[in-house]
Amino acid sequence: MRFTISAAKPEDCKDIERMIMELAVYENMPDQVKISHKELERDGFGPNPFYHCLVAEVPEEHKSKDGNTTVGYVIFFYTYSTWKGRTVYMEDLYVMPEFRGNGIGKALLGAVAKEAKDQLCSRLQFSVLDWNKPSLDFYMAKGAEDLTAKEGWHFLRFHGMALDNLAQEAP
Amino acid sequence: MAKFILRKAEPKDVSDILRLIKELAKFEEMEEQVVLTEKELLEDGFGDHPFYHCVVAEVPKDNQSIEGYTVVGFAMYYFTYDPWIGKLLYLEDFYVMKEFRGYGMGSEILKMLSETAVKTRCSGMHFIVAEWNTTSIEFYKRRGASDLSHEEGWRLYEIDKCNLLKMSSK
C-alpha cells in the first residue's frame, strides 16, 4: 500500500487529536486526555515548538472506513542526557489498526531515527506499558533495551495539587 | 553554614556542572557512562536553541568545599510534551554535594523548579529515579510524587546509536 511520511502541519492537528485518543483508548487511559487540537496547534508550531510530529498519509482511494487519509503519527522531542548529551525522546507512535502490516510504523520510526542522526543525537528513548506485548515485540526486534529491567529506572512525577503545593512553598 | 544562593547557570559554570554530573554518576555507579564534554555542555546549553536549562547552588567563598569549590549543587531540566496534558518540565539531574547536604538546598532547588513549572504553564514535573535509590525516592514521595512505573506499568526503553543508524538508512 502506498503511503507518505511528512512533517505535520497545523491543519493536521484535528487528525492527530483523533489518533491520540485512539491510542489512549488502547492504553486503557482515555480519561487522562485533557488537551485538544487547539493546544496541539499552539504548542507544536511556531519558532519554539514543544514537540515535533510526523504524519503518515494514504491516497484517497485507500482511505479508512471512516474516510480518513491521515492514518498514523509519531510525536517526539529533543531531551538531554548529562551522560551522553543530545537525545531524542519518542512520546507517541501510532498507526490505525486497519493500516498495520504495511510498514507504516517502521517508516515512522525510521524517519525519527533519521532526525535523531541529523541532530547528532546519540540515542532514542521512549516508554512502553509493561503489558503491551505487540509494541514490545516491535521495538525489541529493532534492538531496543529495557532500561527499567536493566538499570532499575522508574518514572516519577509531581502533578496537580502536589506540584502546586511544592511551588507555593517557593522562597 | 546555611547561606547559599540559587541562580541560573552561566557559560562559566560548565566545568563545575560537569564535575557535579560525574559525582552524581559515580554515586549511581555509572561513572564510565559519562561521555559528555564541557564543549558540548557549552554549545548545547547556551546557544540560540538550548537543549537544557540549569540552575546552580553557590556558597560564599568562606564556606567553600574541602577542595575549594563554591558551586556545590545543580539541577538540569528541559521542557517536554505529553499529548494528553501538554507541556511538562522534565528534571534530568538534581544533585547537592555530600558535604553540603542537610541545609535545605535540595528542597529549595525542587521548590524553585516547581515554581518554574507552574509559571510556564506545565501540567507536571517528571523525572526518573533508580529503584534502588530509596533515599531519593523517599525524598520525592514525602513531597507528593507518584511512581508511574509502579502505578501504571510504564517502562523506559532505549535504542542506541548503532541501531538508530541501521533504522535511519532503511
Mean pLDDT of A25-46: 93
Domain range for A91 is 4-126
Domain assignment present for residue A16? The answer is yes
Q: A32 contacts in B (CB within 8 Å)?
A: 84-85
Distance from CA of B161 to the nearest CA of A (A): 5
Q: A114 contacts in B (CB within 8 Å)?
A: 168
A94 catalytic, yes or no? no
- CA nearest to B112 within chain A: A170
Domain assignment present for residue A167? The answer is no
What's the whole-model pTM score? Answer: 0.89
Domain assignment present for residue A152? The answer is no
CATH number of the domain residue A54 falls in: 3.40.630.30
Looking at residue A167, its amino acid is: A
Mean pLDDT of A143-147: 91
The cell numbers describing B5, all together, are 544562593
Q: What is the spatial order of strands in the sheet that B5-8 belongs to?
A: B5-8, B53-58, B71-82, B86-96, B124-130, A153-159, B146-147
The cell numbers describing B119, all together, are 509559571
Whether complex ipTM tops 0.90: no
Domain count, chain A: 1
Query: Long-range contacts made by residues A41-46, C-beta under 8 angstroms, separation at least 24?
Result: A41/A10, A41/A13, A43/B81, A43/B86, A43/B87, A44/A8, A44/A10, A44/A13, A44/B81, A45/A9, A45/A10
Domains present along chain B, CATH in parentheses: 5-127 (3.40.630.30)
Of B155, B93, B138, residue with least CA distance to A131: B155
Residue A11 pLDDT more than 80? yes
| E-assigned strand segments in chain A | 4-7, 52-57, 70-81, 85-95, 123-129, 145-146, 153-159
Assess contact for B159 and A139: CB atoms under 8 A. yes
Mean pLDDT of B133-138: 89
| pLDDT of amino acid B30 | 83
Domain assignment present for residue A154? The answer is no
| pLDDT tens profile A51-71 | 999 999 999 999 999 999 999
Mean pLDDT of A127-151: 91
